[in-house]
Structure formats: structure tokens, C-alpha cells
Amino acid sequence: MPRSLFECSLFLLASFVWGSDFIRAGDAYALSARAAGANACYNVAMLEDPRLSLRMDFLLRKSRVGRELGDEELAQAILLRAQNLAVSGSEIGRTSFLLGLNAFFVGEYASAQSFFSKALLYHPDPPLELLYYLGWSLYKRGNYDASRNVFLNLADLNQGQFSSEELNTLLAATDFNTASLEVAKTRLRDAAIYPKGTWYREEALYLAGYSAFRIDSINQARRFFSDLEDSTRRIYSLACLELADGHFEEATSLYSRLDSEAARYGQAVSLYLAGRLSAAKGLGKDYLEGNPQGAFAAQTYLLLGTIERDRVLFRQAVSLIERGLELDYDYRPALLRALAETQFARKRYRDALKAFSELFTSYPEHLGDETARLLAARSLFYLGETDSAEASLRALLDVTRDEVIANETHYYLGEVAARRGDYLAAAEEFASVKQGSLYARALRRKGEMLAKSGEHTQAVEAFRAALGVTTSRDEREGILLAIEESRLALGVYPDRITMLKSLIERYPDAAHNPELQLQVALEHVEEGNCIAALHEINKLLARYPNSQAAPEALEYKARCQRRLGKIDEAIATYREIPKLAPSSAVLLRSQVELAQLLLSLGRDAEALAVYRELSTTSRSAADRATFTLAMAEIYYSQGNYQTAVDLIRTVINESSSASVLKRAFLLGIDVELARGEITTAGSYAKRYRNRFGETADYLSHRALIDLASGRIQDALSGYRKAASLYPQRSESRIDALIGAAEAARLLGRTGEARGLLEQAALEVQIDRQRIEITRRLQALE
């Protein structure tokens, strides 16, 4: 339907004028920038001659005026129709170019690149604008190397259609984003004399200044920034330089020249960089309370998140950054990157990868952020996704010009190869790391890889090279030990004990000597020479009584004393460990050994005291439940069933550990059967089955309940099934076979009982069970 008096008049004229006349009229309107009139004429022309919808030139006219009227979707649809009709190379090239422009101006840079590439392929005489927009599309997608090549071609072909200064700025932008900062700065050295009022003059000055700043040419950066016409940008940039120079008062003064919101944000940044975190945090929080949707709200959330991250309060940092993301401002890419870095720092690699993926997908220009790409690849590595990590690292290595990034990439490619067991390939990657923060570590890892592949002579060379550049005392001592390990493999020493003693003698003040002395003792333990081991342990305890190795040395001392039959001395040694290691894995392990030793000696009360102490001092809920259950087992063995029941209930109510709960339910069945409470025992069995299913342990304990209830046949079936599920020759399987034999005997099936006992006799390995089987076989006779 016509929408205006003007369109009505056109419809009235339609019966007197041919379609071609309306096309010419529409063209006249289009040339005079009257898109509505042109569109109306083209519509009437189509009504007059529907075949126009198949004409390429007409569809291009319709698309152009549609775009001018703001109807991008219709313009795109018409262009796609035109492309389908295109036959000649010229037609395909023209429509592809227009489709590329449409995609470019709505931010669909991948589609734009595809259309422009197609236009370049088919267009017989492609306009230079095609190269211009293709270069921009590549740049927007973060493909800076390809973008540079396109802009270089454009500069070569340019005959005045484009400003040479603009092209120079675009080339410098690609240099800047590929870390070629010196090249970018040199290219833009005359940026100050670029025509004022042009967009590229401001960008050129900013890029030149920031490139100079990044390579520590502060004075040059200041000159570039001072020529910026945009006062806000000029102040921000100059303030950034003052902050980098540590001139926080000058930076604050510059920020105060901005509007109130910007000034407060800038002052908060100044305070943060001055190390006054509490003051910066307070100012940031005050700003957000007064301006929760302010222009600097997203940046302020990022600043507060960074402060919390610096304080290692990662959860709070993530929360603040996510609140900034909810605002969905233009600052979103920076917030996403900060979120990814924070999740990476707290070792939440899956969450870090999710944030990096959104950053690279939604903002492909950030694919040029090589540090972010490296962290994303490392996240993949730590998640165990080795193939994906390697692909990401190699893709990064192909494009980076930053030596620091290249070093880290080679290092982690070495770790990838090491994980796969390809030690020589790993050594090559570590050897590719050049001077820098990772150099010493890479040399050491190279030596370790060569040693693992049996190349000990080369390994020693690599270790010695690492020793020459390593300053950390701990690292140096570790490298010295690695050198001696390789020399041992080369036959320099007759055995490891000799090598370790030689190392201790040559470096008597080494911090690692207690650990080396302990290793000497452990070598003797491995050989079964407990007397020599005790001698070395006593030397360690005499020389280094307060070292970190002392508690473990006491643990092995007690074990050696037990092997030598010195039980009382072993008990006394075990009791010394809590004084040296009040909270450690050695403490828990050694005190459990002590309790078990006391139980084997019949000293239940002392064992209970040990477990009680462990259950009250352990930080782990699972460990506390384990020790409480051990106490319940002791009370059960003593016949103190009520106390055992109370402790079992405590464990079941407070523990979430599956292994502990299994043991608690099974012990509960044993205790309740001993008390004669068959119903309660059945309740424990039901709870076990509901949670863990019909395991072998469940079936054997269910058979106990059936036996106590007089359901002998059910008991026999349960024992048989349990025995079939237990591993051959295991203690639990032998107990199940003995139980099945007892059930068969009660049913009067003596032959079956004898067969079950004889099968158990063939598999039994424990003397206690062997005696029980013999007794039962004799009873059957």
C-alpha cells in the first residue's frame, strides 16, 4: 500500500509511464540523496514490470536505497538474491563487495572478510576500497599479519585515493599489535604534523606515544601525548606516564582536571599504584555507592577486583569483576580478561578457559593479545587436554614476535612433550628457550629430559649450564644433586650411598643436607640393613635436630627398631614425632602405626589414647571420622558395645566420606549382631545397600544377619555370591568361604561344607584363617 501522498501520485502515473521511466526517476532521486523517493519509484517500477526482480542492476539499486533508509536486513536479503543471480565475474565481484560492506558495517567481520576475498577473486577491476575494507576486516579479527600485508599492497597501489598518513597509521597499528613497537614508533615519528581534525592523527599520536611508553621512552611518549587534541585522552595518557614514573601527586593533579567521575576514578588508580590499597578501595567503593551505573562503574569494579586479587582474595575478586560484567559496558573485554587471569591464578582452569573463549569469540581482535592466548593454552595443559594445548601453543609460536612469549611457548611445548614421554623432543623445546626469566629452569628441565632418555653426558652439560645462571640456593642444590645422579648413571660412583655421602662432604653447609642424609638412610633401609640405617638416622638427628627431615627420620627410625625387635624403643621413638611435627602427614602416618603396634601388643587403652588425640587435633573431617571409627572398633573388640554404637552413630552423622561410611555401616552391623539387635543390624544393612549397592561386603554382612535370623539357605547363597565377587586368595574371600561352609554344615550338607573349606585351604595365606579352616575340617570329621 502507498504510504504517502507522494507515493499515491506515483501510482496514479503508473498507468501512463513505462517501468524504465520509473527506474530513471528513481535514479534521479537517488543522485539527489532522496532515498525515500528513489525507493518509491523502484517499487512502482517492480509493479509495472515484475521481471525487474531478475535484473542484477535493478537489485543493486534496491539494495543501495534500502541501506540508505536504514533497512539493513532487507538490503542484505536483496543483495543475497542478486548474488544468486550473478553469472559473470563482474556481477559476482560487485555483489560480493556490497555484501561485504553490509557485513562490515554491522560488525560481522568474518563474513565481511569472506565476501571481500570472494570479490577480490572475481572482480575484473576491484576498487581500492575493497583492499581497504578487507584490511580492516582482518584487523578487527585480530589477524594482524595478514592485515599488514593487505595495507602494504594498498599503499603500493594508492594513487591519491587514500591519505598516505591514514595508511601509515593503519600499518603502525598492525605493528603495535604484533609487539613491533620500535617499528610502530618509527613509522609514526611525524604523527604531530598529520592533518588536524582527522581520526587517524589522534590514533597515530596515541599509538606512537604508547609504543614509546612500552619501550621505556617516557619523554618521547610525553611529546606524542601532549599533541593529542582530545583533552580527555591527553590527560589520561599523560597521567598514565606520571603513574609509571611514580609521580602519583602529578597524576592525581591531572585527573582532577577531568569531570568529577573521571577524577575520582583516576585518583583511585593513583592510590592503587602508589601501594595505598585500602585508600584506593575506599575511594572506589564510595564512587560505586554514589554512581552504581556511572560511566566509570565497570572500570571501578575491575580496579576493586584487581586490589582483591593482589591481596590473594580471589573469590572476592571474581565476584567484583562479574558485577562489572553485568553492566555490559565497552569495558567488557578488559573485564573478561581480568576474570580469566583471576580464575587462572586460583587454578580454576576450566573457568579461566571459559572466560578466555568468550573474550576471543566475542572480541576476535583480542586474538592479538598473546599473553591471554598463552594463559589459555596453559589452562588447556593443566586441564590435561594435551593435544589442544599443543595446537594452541604452536599456533601462538607461528605468529608471535615477542621473545618473552616465544620463550614461554617453547617451555610449555617442552612440558607437553615430557608429559607424552618424548624426552628428546622435550629437551629440544627446552633448548629453544633463550635468555630470560625461564632460561635457568629450561636448562634444568633440558638436563632432566636428557637424563630420562639416557643421555647422561649431555644431561651433565645442561645441568652445569643451568648452574651457571641459577641464583636461588635451593635450585642450585637441586641441580648439584641432579649432576651427581647423572654421574652415578655414568659409573663415576659405585652406588648411590657413596654418591650422596660425597655430595654432603663437598657441600657441608648445603640446606638440603638433612634430606640427603635421610636418603642415605633410606638406601640402607631398601637394602634391609636396619643397623646401618639407624646409624645414619642418628647422625641426621644429631646434626639437624630441627630440620624438616627430622620427623620422617624418626618415623623410619621407629620402623627399623621394630624390625630389630626393639619394640619399646620404637614406641618411644613414635612418641617423639608429635613434638617435631605437630601437624603433618608424617604425624598422622606414624601415630596410626603406633596405635596399630599398641593394639598388636594388647595395649588397647594406650591405642585408644593415640586415636583420641588424633581425632581431636586433625584438621581433616575425613581423618577425624577415620580415627573415631578406629576407636569404635577397639571398643567393639573389648565388648563395650554401647560406646562403640555411640561412636559409630557420630561418624555416620558427621562424615561425608564414602569409604568411612561404608566401614561405619559394616561395623554397625557387627556390633548390633553382637548385642543381639538383629533389626538394628538389618537397618544398617539397608542403609548401606541404598547408598552403595549390593557389594561383596554388603552380601557377606547380609549373610551374617540371615544366619543370626535362622535364614540359613539365604545365608549360604549370600556367602557364595560374596565369595565370587572378592578377589582370589583375599582375606575377605576366605572369610566368605568359611561362612558358606558353616551355613552348609547347619543345613546338614557336610560334603558341601567340606568342599568349601578345602577350597579355602587352597587359597588361604593368613595363619589365623589357616588355623580356623583346619579346626573346622577336623570338627566335620
Same domain, 473 and 498: no
Burial status of residue 687 (CB atoms within 10 A of its CB: 0-12, 13-18, 19 or more): middle
Query: What is the CA angle 196-197-202, rounded to 5?
Result: 80
Residue 251 covered by a domain: no
**Domain count along the chain:** 3
Query: What is the CA angle 281-287-290, rounded to 5?
Result: 140
For residue 62, what pLDDT is reported?
A: 66
Boundary (domain end) residue, out of 574, 593, 619: 619
Same domain, 469 and 414: yes
Contact present, 443 and 430 (Cβ < 8 Å): yes
Low-confidence ranges of the chain (pLDDT < 50): 1-19, 54, 85-87
For residue 111, what pLDDT is reported?
A: 79
Digit-coded pLDDT (tens) for 17-58: 444 566 666 656 555 566 677 677 767 676 666 655 545 555
Residue 156 covered by a domain: no
Boundary (domain end) residue, out of 586, 619, 652: 619
Same domain, 606 and 497: yes
Q: Which domain holds residue 535?
A: 493-619
For residue 257, what pLDDT is reported?
A: 76
Same domain, 538 and 436: no
Same domain, 497 and 612: yes
For residue 771, what pLDDT is reported?
A: 94
CB within 8 Å of 50: residues ≥ 6 apart: none
Residue 30 covered by a domain: no
Same domain, 522 and 429: no
Residue 440 covered by a domain: yes
For residue 191, what pLDDT is reported?
A: 85
Same domain, 485 and 499: no
Residue 36 covered by a domain: no
What's 750's domain CATH number? 1.25.40.10
Same domain, 424 and 502: no
Digit-coded pLDDT (tens) for 187-244: 888 888 888 888 888 888 888 888 887 777 778 888 888 887 877 778 877 877 777 7
Contact present, 175 and 401 (Cβ < 8 Å): no
CB within 8 Å of 607: residues ≥ 6 apart: 595, 596, 598, 599, 634
Residue 53 covered by a domain: no
Same domain, 483 and 513: no
Same domain, 501 and 438: no
Residue 384 covered by a domain: no
Residue 199 covered by a domain: no
Alpha-carbon gap, residue 251 to 271, rounded angstroms? 10
Same domain, 435 and 499: no
Same domain, 519 and 534: yes
Alpha-carbon gap, residue 292 to 300, rounded angstroms? 10
Boundary (domain end) residue, out of 433, 458, 491: 491
For residue 195, what pLDDT is reported?
A: 87
